[in-house]
Amino acid sequence: MKLRGRALVSGSAEGVALSSLEPIGFLGGVDPETGIVIEQGHALEGECVAGRILVFPTGKGSTVGSYTIYRLARNGVSPAAIINANGDAVTTVGAIIASIPMIDQVDVSLIRTGMVVSIKEDLIEVE
């Protein structure tokens, strides 16, 4: 399957999808040391975002979340890429300062956890 979105942060990446239909808030939602989702009751609680193609509708929560994304990257546990339905300011700014490829305007329900995904610029290939 091939999907085309909008490249908010250009780049290429490959990995296994970790997909959620719930928004993700990075500050307090993802542990910046381990990359594990720690928000209680979140669909991805306990999963690790490190090296994954992280797929979710949009971001939520504090603007400090941008720094959490940067911290994930510094600790080597950031996602390989981010795919959103609608990119929000917190996630997008975080992806820019952490240099994580990010694409939005994608029907995120089509990409499920475990699928192998590669992205290049605004193009997504799902195996």
115 near other proteins, judged by CB under 8 A: no
Q: How far is the CB of 104 from other proteins (least distance, A)?
A: 8
Using the rule CB under 8 A, which residue among 17, 26, 54, 92 binds other proteins? 92
120 near other proteins, judged by CB under 8 A: no
Q: What angle do CA 102, 58, 48 make, to 5 degrees?
A: 70
Contact of 59 with 24, CB cutoff 8 Å: yes
38 near other proteins, judged by CB under 8 A: no
Choices 17-25, 48-56, 84-92, 110-118; region in contact with other proteins by CB under 8 A? 84-92
d(C-alpha 22, C-alpha 124), whole Å: 21
Could you tell me how far CA 105 lies from the centroid of its own chain? 13
Q: Which residue has the tokens 């942060």?
A: 9
DSSP-derived letter for residue 108 is: G
Report the interface residues with other proteins, using CB under 8 A.
6-10, 32, 63-64, 66-68, 70-71, 74, 86-90, 92-93, 96-97, 104
